[in-house]
A and B are shown apart, each in its own frame.
Chain A
């Protein structure tokens, strides 16, 4: 099986995973709107929370995967690792756009303002900008090997930067509700809502995997094209 065939097969599988995730998303929303009670203090606006929090999780996951793959690239110097890293970064950027748009929509009715310099929102904003920079840098470098090496260095630095940014912004000021899920004694989120949220997180993780498969397949196909062009030249 050629690389092209493998990539096409991966794209088909990625399409199936993405399709499943989108079906799951529909399910989550039916559950959230119809079967999950309206939150007492926040009202119906709280429903967007079932997208906002999971999509934030998925974008962080995407960036973390990119950072870890970047580190791996520096040791392995394998082009496939680089292609997977950039695929994850791009998916992460797309997901963080969703996070950064749903945040203010939630924030307006709840906090009374579209944008707040809340710790998590701000961290994501900087992370988003950082990875846009990562993609811009890649676009400006034409040598494939140099591009892979340089962007891997930025990816590793981003991975290390995240905790620093988070502490900085958190100390600066925070308006965000205290972590609502992972409190060991008593989860402050009622059971039904928690279940909906956890299902949604699973669905968004699946969506990330589907997107990643599709994007990686595309990256491999582009690479195959480059390889063919190089063969024609020589």
Chain B
């Protein structure tokens, strides 16, 4: 699509190990503005670790990662405070990032949480928490978005809202990396797919020109290979 016009994430030969175990091995990839890279692969293949590396939460053991814009992230954990309300949680993040104090309300409305705005999040359902976590990540309008299983806990309606949002962000020129098992739901958003196996990105290809059936079959084949 916008191939290599405006690279926002550049990972060069990134490896990362914990103790003596290599979790991520020699991954090189570039994600430019308007591109959505879908990371797929079985459990323990290094998807989450790669996301954390790109976010800068952990340092690569070898190689280098450049981020050329602010980062927003949705992780396994919500990064929210149970004792605070939805609005207080976002207001805190807004203060940290120095963004407009009106922005939390705007995003809460957008994510369909308007009614729960002053509720403590300890009372939230899994889906509501996931939507709030996404709102938290988008608060400062980052141009690099890293999402680890963004659809987890969401029902069909919720998933559609998030997928719609991601398409919008892609078209606005964000660089997005999504680690997921829900390949089919997210295929329409994606511009590229990276298959992960044993810490390596074994295949990295554009989605364009391939139909969903092909991609899913390839994914299944790779999963079986890995086992």
Contacts and interface: CB of A to CB of B under 8 A. Distances in A.
Do any beta carbons of A and B sit within 8 angstroms of each other in the complex?
Answer: yes
Interface of A: 143-145, 226-227, 229-231, 233-234
Pairs A-B, 6 closest by C-beta atoms: A230-B20, A227-B20, A230-B21, A144-B19, A226-B20, A230-B19
Nearest to B198: A234
Contacts of A234: 21-22, 198
Interface in B12-51: 18-22
B18 A143 contact: yes
Contacts of B18: 143-145
Contacts of B20: 226-227, 229-231
Nearest to B18: A143
A145 B21 contact: no
A226 to B, nearest CB: 6
Contacts of B198: 234
Nearest to B22: A234
Given A227-B20, A231-B20, A233-B21, 6 more contacts: A143-B19, A145-B19, A229-B20, A230-B19, A234-B21, A234-B198
Interface string B170-199: 000000000000000000000000000010
Nearest to B19: A144
18 contacts: A143-B18, A143-B19, A144-B18, A144-B19, A145-B18, A145-B19, A226-B19, A226-B20, A227-B20, A229-B20, A230-B19, A230-B20, A230-B21, A231-B20, A233-B21, A234-B21, A234-B22, A234-B198
A231 B19 CA distance: 11
- Interface centre among B18, B19, B21, by most A CB within 10 Å? B19
Contacts of A229: 20
A231 B22 CA distance: 9
A145 B21 CA distance: 12
A133 B20 CA distance: 26
A231 B20 CA distance: 8
A75 to B, nearest CB: 15
Nearest to A146: B18
Nearest to B21: A230
B107 to A, nearest CB: 34
Nearest to B20: A230
Contacts of A143: 18-19
Nearest to B25: A234
Interface in B59-105: none
A144 B20 CA distance: 9
- Interface centre among B18, B20, B21, B198, by most A CB within 10 Å? B20
A226 B20 CA distance: 7
